[in-house]
Each structure stands twice: as structure tokens, then as C-alpha cells.
A and B are shown apart, each in its own frame.
Chain A
């Protein structure tokens, strides 16, 4: 089977940061491969090693700077990568779920994968919605928050476990083709080997704009607009213990003695 992996680079914020308007200046931001996508990549690579997946293709909507992050997926085993970007995105400060869905839908139409894997959510924007929205757009079946996937795919179905709240798992059978949104903990993501990293440099990474996918520029304009950004209001009455680590530890020790946790 052929697997399409939706992979995204996420922004991380430093401990100390500032907000300017609806933006955090670049100097306070870092980048990372989305944690959930790491698990999706590992799952795809395991299916490849088991000779179930014949081809694993990644797709990312993002600027050129995210290529280093995408190459991590190639270094762990994905065969090739697709990156979508367009000038039309430079002016927008938010990619909403409908925009991402419209773009990924065009890629699915082109690649015709049997299985699409995404993460449950992106660590920065946390929409937690792109995978399921995409499934409906391409008329695939789907399952969200998958923390186990059986590797036999009998009768054209996938047998999954969905992680519900409160330590309950749902056992579900899903027809293929399908989109699965992968939950952390489903496997143990590997580190790329040096050989993998070297090979990744030679693996194909195709870049397309909106027109290449037959999409209008207006796709970039999300109907959801970002209008304000702030640090959450601190209304709590937290007591912060200042001083050296020893002094702060002393305060905590006093509290624990007072609460008779320890004598």
C-alpha cells in the first residue's frame, strides 16, 4: 500500500518572550517537528519495514525554512517529500483548517494513497482537526486519536484502537482507504541513523504552489482571522517561593511538615 504522511513543523516559544500585536517576534521562537507527527512517521516506517507499505510520501504545507524538519522524516525512512507553499501565504498569519484541508485534498487526489496518517494535533495551533476534515473532503474513512494500529489490514480494513478519556480504549474497524490521526505513545519513534540522514539529502523533495495543484490563490485566505494575542491573565493567588534552590526547598519542606506529609 501507499502511505501519505501529513507532516508539519511547529513553532516553539522560549520561556521568556514578548507579544507584538498578533505576533511573537522570531527571536523568541524556535521550530520543531510536530510531536504527534513523529509517531505517525514511525508508524509508517514500521509498515514499510514489514513490507506492507510500498511507498511512504510526506506532505507539508510550509515555507522553505521547514525543509530541514521535513528531511527528518526522510532520514527515518520516508521515500519522498512534497512541500506546498505559495506567495499568497506570505500575507496571512493563520492557516485555518479549511485552508489546510483544501490543499491536502488536492495532494491526496494526485497521490491516491491507501492510507493517510496525520497527527492528532499540531503542538502550536492545536486545531486537532485537519486529519478528520481531510478525510471527509476526499471521501476516505477515518479514525481519530489512534493509539494502536494492527498491521494486518485484513479484507481491506484497518483495525485500530482509539484512546478515549479516562483510560478507556475503543476498538474500531475502519474501511480503507482511510485517514488515521495518530496519538503519541502508539510506538517508540526512532532516531534517524547517520546513514539515514545522508540518504535523506538525496531523496526527492518536490515543491508546488497553489496553481500547480489547480487551486485558486483565494484558498490561502482563511475565513478565520487572528485578531488578538496575549499572555493569559494571571488571576491566580500562587505563592512563588523566591531565593536559592535551597531556600525554596526549605519553604516547601516546611509546608510538607506543616501538612504532616513528613515529620
Chain B
């Protein structure tokens, strides 16, 4: 038991980037345990996916040609069957919205411990050490466990696997118990369209929970007016109904890459950062020196936004 099984992610005909990152993360672990790296590609155009995934360090790729899109029941059944066949030491999946919809079920079915959202993985003969964040990224922890386990990895923490591999690509004859599939996907819908596309803006003034009250948004509007900037927001501001969904930056909102991104009262949770880290210049205004955004920013003001923003507006009047 020293092999690694990594199950890749795809959606609507495209492999997701994290699938290639699973190759690096998996290869790293396989090197540490002295085992092989197996990939599993479940549903969709599996052969096309397998060819793309045949990169350096991959030893075998198992394809399961069943259905088009992700279904957690299918993924859970196939992953447990592959586990029984390969007896890997560790199973890796993405910590994506789909990853967290089946990895915990696999853990239960196989009675394996699960550690989610890993940002670093280390292993030796018997122990797996996982680094992960708690308290919204303010604190880092390591956890350890012995024996086989399942682990989900954070997106964009590992480089994508590169090169061309010589993996054995094999169709895996999974037995899908269709009666046990209790959910079905009826379709997809794009949401969050509307009047403005924040992805087009050169300058974004982005507002977070630090604004405290809907009435205070006026202050942000005044700043955006003074700068000729567009307003965007973190999730809680949108969840509260203070701004429409098309203003939300992040994993489940829009990915933006403006010249200047001014984060006002935003902590910089990983799901937010996923949507703005490609901005050219990032400025953070936050009272908390330990907020992750203060690290990501090029320029930071550690102070009360209700003092800083009015002073900034003043500068341009």
C-alpha cells in the first residue's frame, strides 16, 4: 500500500485546471511513499481527457465511460471500486464544489479519515502530514494521520503537471448500481449577468463585510465616483442583497484582472482571492493586520475604512 489514486475534475467538456495540479500533488506523494500515481477519469469524453492527462509522473490512467457530467453517486461508486482494486495509500481529489460533494462520501464508505482543502502534503513510511488553513486563512495548522486516507487539495496551490507521460491508459469496468443513484442533474444555468461586467473595469473599488451596513455603501459610491471606478464586492455584501450578484468577485462570482483593485473591508478568504489575485496592483484597506488580504496586497493601509475612505475622497475634490 504505497500508491496514490487521484480523481480528476471536469465540467461541461473541459478538464479543470486543478486536474493537472492533482498530478503534481499526487506525484509528490508517490515519490514520498515510493509508489505509483494512478489517475481516474470518470464520465465525459474520457479518452480525450486521458490523453491530455498523460503527463510526466503519471503511471496509469483509468477511464470510466459513464454519463457526461459529474454525478456524486457515480463518482462515489467508482472511486470506492478503484480503491478496492488498487489499494492505494492515499486518495486525492480537488477541493472543488464537486470534489466536496463526493470525497466525504467516499471517506464514509471506505471508513477512511478525510482531510480537506490541503495547501501542502508530506508523507513518509507511515504518516501523512497535511497543512491547511483555519479561521478564514488567519491561522495555519498541520494535521497528521496514520494509514490510508482521502484528501482534497486546494485549487491553484500546486503547479500543473507538465511534459508528456507514458501512462498505461485502461478502461476500468466499474459496476454502476443505477438504483442507488438518488440524484440527477437536469441542467446548468449561467447566473449573474446584468448591466455591468466587472471583468471589463480598469479600476475596481471592492467592498466587503467591513462596510457593516447597507447605508454605508454611499461612501463607497462616492469613492468610485471620485476615481471613475466600478464597484465590486465580496460575497457577504451580495448575500445581504446590498449589491447584485454580477458585482461579486470570487470563486462563485466573477474573476477580475483590473489595473487597480482596491479591497475595502475585505478579509481575503481563499474563495475571494481566487477571483482577484490576477489584478495588476492590489490595495487593501483593513483594520486587521492578520487578514490574508494584507499579504496579497501590493499596498496596504491598516486602518479604519471610515477614516481612510473619506480622506481619500477629499484628495480628489
Measuring CB to CB, which residues of chain A are less than 8 angstroms from any residue of chain B? 11-13, 15-17, 19, 22, 24, 94, 96-98, 101, 120, 123-137, 141-145, 161-175, 178, 184-185, 188, 222-232, 234, 236-241, 245-246, 248-253, 255-256, 259, 261-262
> Quick check: A232 and B303 within 8 Å, CB to CB?
no
Measuring CB to CB, which residues of chain B are less than 8 angstroms from any residue of chain A? 11-12, 72, 76, 95-98, 100-109, 111, 113-117, 129, 132-147, 182-192, 202-203, 226-229, 235-236, 238-241, 245, 251-255, 259-260, 262, 281, 283, 287-290, 292, 294-304, 307-309, 311-312, 314-316
Q: How far is the CA of A222 from the CA of B144 in the complex (A)?
A: 11
> Quick check: A169 and B191 within 8 Å, CB to CB?
yes
A-B contact count (CB 8 A): 265
Q: How far is the CA of A239 from the CA of B183 in the complex (A)?
A: 50
> Quick check: A188 and B241 within 8 Å, CB to CB?
yes
> Quick check: B185 and A174 within 8 Å, CB to CB?
no
A175, A250, A262 interface centre (most CB from chain B within 10 Å): A262
Residue of A nearest to B107 (CB): A133
> Quick check: B96 and A241 within 8 Å, CB to CB?
no
Q: Residue B134 contacts which of A125, A144, A246, A261 (CB distance < 8 angstroms)?
A: A125
Contact residues in B for A172 (Cβ distance below 8 Å): 183-186
Can you give 15 contacting A-B residue pairs, CB < 8 Å? A15-B290, A129-B114, A132-B101, A164-B98, A184-B235, A184-B239, A223-B145, A223-B146, A224-B143, A232-B140, A238-B299, A240-B294, A241-B299, A249-B311, A253-B312
Contact residues in B for A224 (Cβ distance below 8 Å): 113, 115, 143-145
Q: Residue B97 contacts which of A162, A232, A261 (CB distance < 8 angstroms)?
A: A162
Contact residues in B for A164 (Cβ distance below 8 Å): 11, 97-98, 188, 252
CB distance from A247 to the nearest CB of B (A): 9
Q: Given the known inter-chain contacts A228-B142, A248-B303, please indicate yes or no for A253 contacting B315, CB distance below 8 A.
A: yes
Contact residues in B for A145 (Cβ distance below 8 Å): 97, 100-101
CB distance from A71 to the nearest CB of B (A): 24
> Quick check: B295 and A238 within 8 Å, CB to CB?
yes
> Quick check: A234 and B295 within 8 Å, CB to CB?
yes
CB distance from A127 to the nearest CB of B (A): 5
CB distance from A224 to the nearest CB of B (A): 5
